[in-house]
Structure 1
């Protein structure tokens, strides 16, 4: 072992460096909402009110509330089908069957595992998406059996984003039962790869599929009935691996030590990043995973970490990324300079996540309709920035929003996640109004 590291550097191995997570009832992956009240323009307020006043829509809104027990039944069933990262197949298969039964015109699964259900419109000149993601953050083997205490349901993934899947299904089912017809095609989708190292692979596939032109994108993620995410929080995620020959802690003493380089890299990065993030647009960083080594009496042959950086500003994200790259190279150089024998350390820097930033303005029709619909159901709209599937359409200039799936809950990404049906129908009602206004309710229906 080499005892050259100050205690302050070494202690970084014992805790995660994180200033990223912001707890919010609607969605733990979003930044705090605007504090000031937001109001839609009169044309959009009038549009939503007129739409909600149509007899067929009134019937559908009432049915969404009445069918909440059915929605919860599907929520229970889907939650107990594990969907670990990159292993969403079984949940996707069941979800496809549910969408077929609900009455979609056609249902298929694409090459990466996204489940798509098409409901044809009258003119088919537009395509509007209503989407939730199939995957959860929990590894294979996690107990996802629901436990109920009173009116509260506990299970990993029950809110993020299984509730969203159940909600998308219910909206389709109610549209079919009330014969609500739209001018545009509507695609009801369960996507893969939203979480973690999935790197939005599902929605990236949607927007790279030849012939699939999407005009508006409505994602359901998180809880509550107030959030409207219209700005995308970009992120870079890296896996960095320092590699050396490894050897006996005494017999090979003097070899380069990958752990030493990793500790230095973390220290130098967090020192510079701390200063950098105190100014400009909010920018965050997190060293989330570290590992390597085989034994207390063996110099490790590798040491690795996974790092997350986020900002709404592409310039800020590029700036903190540069600091990170410099810290890694400085650590590599210093550790190699200390060796007494053997080859140098090497480092692999792998970009494992790249979520683009972007936004649509508050004045855009989709956001205005979302604000008006939220007000119509008696809720106060909360405009947010977040890292969701909407990041991809944001980055391509396509109108998109992400909204909560209703109810109350907390503990997303933890084994203690919980959800309760507190006025959960309001989220379904506002989503239907937004979807119909975007897709165009056919006159006379």
Structure 2
């Protein structure tokens, strides 16, 4: 009897929860549909379609302005000029190189950011000329994240062309430092005391998947670790401590310990030794040996645990090599943190997430919530409503020289983004 009562109560709870979710989905579906039915928004949708040739032209032109890590200024200056020409109320480049274009709202009580990142992963000197192969466009950075920059610009133009005013202020941004050792420096600056002030909601555009919504931040620690010693001739100075030996030990000890940690219950954790270097010749004891490593997880505790294992492995490798040497000075080691992306997650019931889901469904997609390492990590870690969505079309080989993109109904992602932005910022009455 008791079992039957428990099962009945559980069924009632599940039914109630299901009804609540249905009501919530219906609420945001209704909101997005009502927005899309507004005459001005319908006109903006058509403007987005009409501007497809210009959006593509902006996309290709920006792709061919190289924006290597820490050297985004040339692209930033051009993007700022384009934002100004599009009709933003004020445009400026901040102290780290972010482009900010402010479109004032009716009351300005809320501030919503829409952004793409300016930088690519490709080093200075990379050929960024766009190659046309039928309907396929290929160039380093053509998706990640240059398409997003063109898309953000088109949303601004569509709002201007159709005189759509919002209640909230909107900041249309091109942000530096999203990739690699940029360590999210651009978005970190936006949320610092040097930023534009309070930000109430954050919408980042990154990647190309039209249906994904990143609402959880994949945190990471990244290090440059360098062992140093006197170095010398491989035969004449034999017996000196060898930095490569210490590095090899450190890699071994960390890999074994971290691998064991990844097999324990908990949030997914990854670790990687991505780059190693040092030495001058085959017959020389190196004077330095270095590596760059990465560890990631949604769980800050898991990242911290992997970090602790790394520090222990480095010190063990150093100690053992110094104990084994026969002559000369001890090795030293420099451990430098070069990347610290905070993790975190947001309640999937938050309005911005539900609005994104409803907007994706409205354009005919199936929304999928996911975790990622994007500019949204920063606001998410601070508990500020934030999402990352894709820029649409089809693409592949991101971060490779053969990166490619096809404009397969790319306008749909722009329309989706406009809906989410207007829902967050509110259309002025």
1:261 shift after superposition: 0.7
The structure where helix makes up a greater share of residues is 2
Structure 2 residue 27 is matched with structure 1 residue 43: yes
| Larger RCO: 1 or 2 (CA < 8 Å, sep 6+) | 1
Contact 1:81 1:90 in 2 (8 A): yes
Structure 2 residue 164 is matched with structure 1 residue 215: no
* Deviation digits for residues 387-411 of structure 1 (CA, Å, limit 9, x no counterpart): 0000110111110000001111011
Aligned length: 406
Write the mapping of 1:167-316 to structure 2, written as runs, cut at 5 A: 167-210=151-194, 212-279=197-264, 280-316=266-302
Q: What's the secondary structure of 1:367's corresponding residue?
A: helix
Of 312, 317, 329 in structure 2, the residue corresponding to residue 326 of structure 1 is: 312
**Structure 2 regions of 5+ residues with no counterpart?**
1-20
Q: Partners of 1:66 and 1:272 in 2: how far apart?
A: 57
* Deviation digits for residues 364-392 of structure 1 (CA, Å, limit 9, x no counterpart): 00100000000000001011100000011
Of 52, 71, 79 in structure 2, the residue corresponding to residue 68 of structure 1 is: 52
Which structure is larger by alpha-carbon Rg, 1 or 2?
2
Q: What's the secondary structure of 2:370's corresponding residue?
A: strand
1:273 shift after superposition: 1.2
Q: Partners of 2:58 and 2:270 in 1: how far apart?
A: 36
Structure 2 residue 79 is matched with structure 1 residue 132: no
Q: Partners of 2:301 and 2:409 in 1: how far apart?
A: 41
Could you tell me which residue of structure 1 aligns to residue 18 of structure 2? none
Q: Partners of 1:59 and 1:196 in 2: how far apart?
A: 40
TM-score of the superposed pair, with normalisation by structure 2? 0.93
Q: Partners of 1:438 and 1:281 in 2: how far apart?
A: 31
Q: Partners of 1:266 and 1:413 in 2: how far apart?
A: 26
Q: What's the secondary structure of 1:87's corresponding residue?
A: coil
* Deviation digits for residues 74-104 of structure 1 (CA, Å, limit 9, x no counterpart): 1100000000000000000000000001000
Structure 2 residue 322 is matched with structure 1 residue 336: yes
When the two chains are superposed, the root-mean-square deviation of aligned CA atoms in Å is 1.1
Q: What's the secondary structure of 1:158's corresponding residue?
A: coil
* Deviation digits for residues 336-388 of structure 1 (CA, Å, limit 9, x no counterpart): 11101011111000001000011211100010000000000000101110000
Of 319, 340, 361 in structure 2, the residue corresponding to residue 375 of structure 1 is: 361
Q: Partners of 1:165 and 1:147 in 2: how far apart?
A: 19
Q: What's the secondary structure of 1:272's corresponding residue?
A: helix
1:327 shift after superposition: 0.9
Q: Partners of 2:321 and 2:50 in 1: how far apart?
A: 65
Q: Partners of 2:308 and 2:209 in 1: how far apart?
A: 37
Contact 1:224 1:424 in 2 (8 A): no
Q: What's the secondary structure of 1:91's corresponding residue?
A: helix
TM-score of the superposed pair, with normalisation by structure 1? 0.90
Write the mapping of 1:419-434 to structure 2, written as runs, cut at 5 A: 419-434=405-420
1:65 shift after superposition: 2.1
Contact 1:193 1:200 in 2 (8 A): yes
Write the mapping of 1:52-91 to structure 2, written as runs, cut at 5 A: 52-91=36-75
